[in-house]
Structure 1
Amino acid sequence: MRFTNLDQKPYWHDEIYTSLRASGYTAEEAIQALYHGQMIDVETLLTYQRPAPERTAIDTLTGLATEEPHHPPLYYVMARFWAEWFGSSITAMRSLPALISLLALPAMYWLCWELFASPMVGKMAMALLAISPIYIRYAQEARQYSLWVVLILVSSAVLVRAVRQKIAVNWGVYAIAMIPALYCHLLSVLVVLGHGVYVLAIERFRLSRTVLGYLLASLIGMVWFLPWVGIAWINQTALVETTAWMKQPLPLPTLIRFWGVQLSRLFVAWHFRSDSQLVYLAIPILVLAMVALNFLCRHTPRSVWLFILTLIGVTALGLVLPDLLWAGKRSTNIRYFFPSYLGLTIAIAYFMTHA
């Protein structure tokens, strides 16, 4: 399913920017060359959608740093090399995330095994991940989100193992797993924070060896991420400008309808607006999610259900609360909720195999 009709969907705004970054040109250079009031032929336009021989991955990094510092560079550098090797057609650019998304299947199984030691739950979670519209959609989009899903699952599996086994080397592996996650998406900070809440709660807020292991691993990961934090700070004007849309206020009823659309995407492939009556399809899915979470909390150890709740809750609250307290529409962006989607997927998989 992930490789079906890769070139049939319109190559939209964000994907065009992926190709622009892979080309090594900046948006400013493209605008200066293309916006001159005259007719532009296709080949000239595609110059800024293909890797330029005179540009390198360093130019990709420079373009991101100066124009889009809210996007860490890992995926875009990968896309640069991918386009050099396999071409920059729509099919080629979308094949990279589609291939990466396949890694999410064993990663999901691994996380479920660490949580439940049950192949049945892992297989069901893999099946849901394989057919869920939200995961398929972003597996076919030339952006970093399929890579982010894989890294969330891997870092989470390593964390659960580290908490259970209490072996120091596992915390080193967790620090290593955290670094690419941070360099893939800034919201990985919320995932790491959720992991921290989980570890503290499991240890009942005592400064145990497990908590110290998490703190040291997190510190190492964050230190490795500091160079990009510094770049974002230096280019904070661009950071503010490119994320200004998040602060546009929306009425609470509109936000709630957006949340309904987002929740429905876990199982419903139809594309509909937030003002459509189809938004009420979210109600049975919400009921299923609540029933599954309640069942999970009643039938699994505290170390299991608490991990799922923190994986879902910390990211969701980190996006929803700012919109409620200070206005904005951060929480209307469906792809920011992948940690929460993954937690819900696991909870529903457990419910479906044990109810």
Structure 2
Amino acid sequence: MILKINRGLLLILFWTLIALILRLSWLDSKPPWTDEFSTLVFSLGNSFLRVPLDIPIDIDTLLKPLQPRPDAQLGDVLKNLFTESNHPPLYFLLTHLWVKLFPLESGLVSVFGARSLAAILGGLSVPAIYGLGRLAFNTSLVAEMGAAMMATSAYAIFLGQEARHYTLAILWVIASLACTLVAAKSQISQTKIPWSIAVSWIIVNGLGIASHYFFVLILLPEVLILVLLAWRNHYLNPSYWRRILAVGMGTAISGLVWIPVFLQNSYGGKLTEWIQGERTGIAWISPIFQALAAWITMIVLLPIESPALTIVILAGIAMFIYIIWAVPILYRGWQENLTSSQTHLSTWILSGIVGIAIAQFFIFTYVFGIDLTRGARYNFVYFPAVIVLVGASLAVCWSKPQVNIYNWKITGKMAVVLILLVANLSAITVIGNLGYQKYYRPDLFADIINQTSQVPVLITTTQKTHVHIGEMMGIAREFKLKYPNSPQTQFLLTHQDTNPQTSTIALQTALEQLSRPLDVWVVNFFADLPDNLQTCQLYQSRLPDVDGYEYKLYRCR
């Protein structure tokens, strides 16, 4: 017995250690992108509103919100977050305290420090998913397989290496799913949910909503699956449902407190424009492929974003072959779990929750015009349930003396080892920035500017929200860290609201005031260019494309 306990504990520690090593490896090698800048600025208790607009500013002025203030308090985090963003505060408050433990980088907040919180929380999801798998299937093998997949999943690594709140939200999702399973098993045994579970469930749901508003997307699937289970079993015990109702009311109250905060924010609509819009042509089917791509990366992601085309092609072929081999194995395991009397209930519950959650995503996408499939990170809502189901399928495969897929015979244990090996390769793909690359590459863009311009530089863009400030912060940070001695570099963020001509006028005014020679980099500039820029020479040589930055270079002499 002691040997079994030690073996289980050692495996949990092993996979947790693997998870932490993977998530913390080269953690600050990739530059932060706009969403991470939001985390950094708001967590410091700073504001984007203090960045001057419509006038040229230097690098240090633009990066001032990334400098910690000794007098900043948690209240400043709440004030600025509620005024300028559309996110709940829990993760930002934790980050405010966490980053104080790390030294500054050239006077700026540590990106490694900020990301390490998400990485460690991601590592903690391994023992958490072990517990959920053990609770669901009452076997350590399923729990161990789930822990291994959570440790190495490319999707989990992707979320764990960003200074964002998704790994914290995943922990609350796991805990909420555990409470749902306890409630379901109480139905089967015809007993009431213990008050300790009910109260814990309310607290977990409240903390989940306080971490990410999309956490609510797991609540409806949980409720519906309990209702469907009761309908299937004709279970109408009033005392049971009174406690479920109490949990629902407590959760509703914990969520409703954020509605006034959400409604008072004037930036919410602008910050979510990227997932809204009308559909025409191929846009009607793109959500399906976006969803499929995200699901695939939960189990495999090879270097399909490598700069070498040959590697991209080979990786794509290898992924295709692997998927058509691995999916039947996982599907057969799922089928067997669904038909087995010992594993049917948990498989049915978790599968139902995943199915309902996915249905919600497509309802939001096709009915309400809010394309949740565009953000792969939003799948955190049902990702833990998927991992437990995958772990359960691998447990079935492990016990098979032989697996035969397309006439390729292999032992079940070898098949599982191969799947875990591919998962580890997928994790390394993300760590090496060959998959799930950042949406913005200011590192590449700063290199291009430094190599192309030998005179003072003006980088200009149109600005609507702090997202656009973050785009420029990424470039400024690269210059500060990599090219501190480069020619004078200034930024011009031209504010654009209902009248795009305001940006045109701001750039025209700045050009009249700045001396020559001057290289003007027009970046993500969604307005007419002023006449006095047309007198400058457009750089004709082809420059490389850069993710997140659409640009042109004008040389004013």
SS at match of 2:298: coil
Q: Please point out which of 259, 262, 266 is paired with 2:294.
A: 262
Contact kept in structure 1, 2:89 and 2:211, CA below 8 Å: yes
Q: Deviations over 1:47-71 (max 9, x none)?
A: 21133223322121122212222x1
Matched, 1:117 2:138: yes
Matched with 2:41 is 20
2:64 is matched with 47
Please give the alpha-carbon distance, in whole angstroms, between the structure 2 residues aligned to 1:122 and 1:351.
11
Q: Which residue does the alignment assign to 2:56?
A: 38
CA distance in 1: counterparts of 2:25 and 2:223, whole angstroms:
39
Change (3 A) 1:218 1:8: same
Deviations 1:19-48 (A, max 9, x none): 011121222223x2xx4543413x444321
TM-score (norm 2): 0.58
Map residues 238-257 of structure 1 onto 2, 5 A cutoff: 238-250=267-279, 251-257=283-289
Return 5+ residue gaps in structure 2 as ranges.
1-21, 104-108, 187-192, 306-311, 398-557
Quote the residue 1:176 is aligned against. Answer: 203
CA shift, 1:147, in A, is 0.6
Q: Which among 57, 64, 74 is matched to residue 57 of structure 1?
A: 74
- Does 2:335 correspond to 1:294? yes
Secondary structure of 2:285 counterpart: helix
| 2:262 paired with 1:221 | no
Deviates more, 1:45-54 or 1:205-214: 205-214
Instruction: Report if aligned partners of 2:330, 2:393 keep a CA contact under 8 Å in 1.
Output: no
The structure 2 residue matched to 1:84, chosen from 89, 92, 100, is: 100
1:78 CA displacement:
0.7
> 2:337, 2:344 within 8 Å by CA — same for their partners in 1?
no
The answer to whether the Cα contact below 8 Å between 2:199 and 2:247 also exists between their aligned partners in 1 is: yes
Give the superposition deviation at 1:328: 4.2
1:348 is aligned to 2:390? yes
Contact 2:331 2:393 in 1 (8 A): no
- Paired position in structure 1 for 2:122: 101
The one-letter code matched in structure 2 to 1:259 is A
Q: Distance in 2 between matches of 1:11 and 1:330?
A: 22
1:256 offset after TM fit, Å?
A: 2.4
8 Å CA contact 2:132, 2:388 repeated in 1? no
Distance 1:178 1:54, change over 3 A: same
Q: Which has the higher strand share?
A: 2
- Tell me, what secondary structure is at the counterpart of 1:2? helix
Shift of 1:249: 3.6
SS at match of 1:203: helix
Tell me the distance in 2 between the aligned counterparts of 1:80 and 1:92: 11
Whether the aligned pair in 1 keeps the contact of 2:128 and 2:174 (CA below 8 Å) is: yes
**1:269-326 residue CA offsets vs partner (Å, 9 max, x unmatched):** 34658xx984984963665554444333222555312321233122211111222234
1:124-146 C-alpha deviation (Å, 9 max, x unpaired): 00000001111011111100011
Kindly indicate which of the two structures has a greater share of residues assigned to helix.
1
Quick check: 1:22–1:50 contact (8 Å CA) kept in 2? no
Separation in 1 of the partners of 2:169 and 2:370?
A: 24
Give the 3-state SS of the residue equivalent to 1:55 in structure 2: coil
Query: Match for 2:218 among 191, 202, 226?
Result: 191
**Number of equivalenced pairs:** 347
CA distance in 1, matches of 2:68, 2:183: 41
AA in 2 matched with 1:241: K
SS at match of 1:52: coil
Structure 1 unaligned regions, length at least 5: none
Rounded Cα–Cα distance in structure 1 between residues aligned with 2:132 and 2:235: 25
User: C-alpha distance in 2, partners of 1:310/1:62?
Assistant: 40
Aligned counterparts of 1:290 and 1:243: Cα–Cα separation in 2: 36
Which letter does structure 2 place at the counterpart of 1:225? G
Give the one of 211, 230, 233 matched to 2:263.
233
Q: Distance in 2 between matches of 1:170 and 1:6?
A: 37
Deviations 1:194-245 (CA, angstroms, capped at 9, x unpaired): 111122122227543333222211211221232212211233x422222222
> Compared with structure 1, are the counterparts of its residues 230 and 319 closer, same or farther at alpha carbon in structure 2 (3 Å cutoff)?
same
After superposition, the C-alpha distances for 1:131-174 in whole angstroms (9 at most, x for unaligned) are 11110111111000111111111121133224435323211111
Tell me whether 1:330 sits opposite 2:367 in the alignment.
no
Q: Would you say the 8 A contact 1:246–1:328 is kept in 2? A: yes
* One-letter amino acid matched to 1:246: I
Supply the RMSD in Å over aligned alpha carbons. Answer: 2.4
Q: Distance in 2 between matches of 1:238 and 1:271?
A: 36
The 5 Å alignment of 1:311-326 reads 311-326=353-368
Q: Tell me the TM-score normalized by structure 1.
A: 0.89
Q: Secondary structure at the match of 2:148?
A: helix
| Cα distance between partner residues in 2 of 1:243 and 1:288 | 39
Q: Greater CA radius of gyration, 1 or 2? A: 2
Please say if residues 214 and 381 of structure 2, whose CA atoms lie closer than 8 Å, have aligned partners that are also in contact: no
Deviation at 1:93, TM superposition (A): 0.8
* Structure 1 SS opposite 2:257: helix
Aligned AA (2:290): F
Q: What secondary structure sits across from 2:24 in the alignment?
A: coil
The alignment-based identity, stated in percent, is: 21
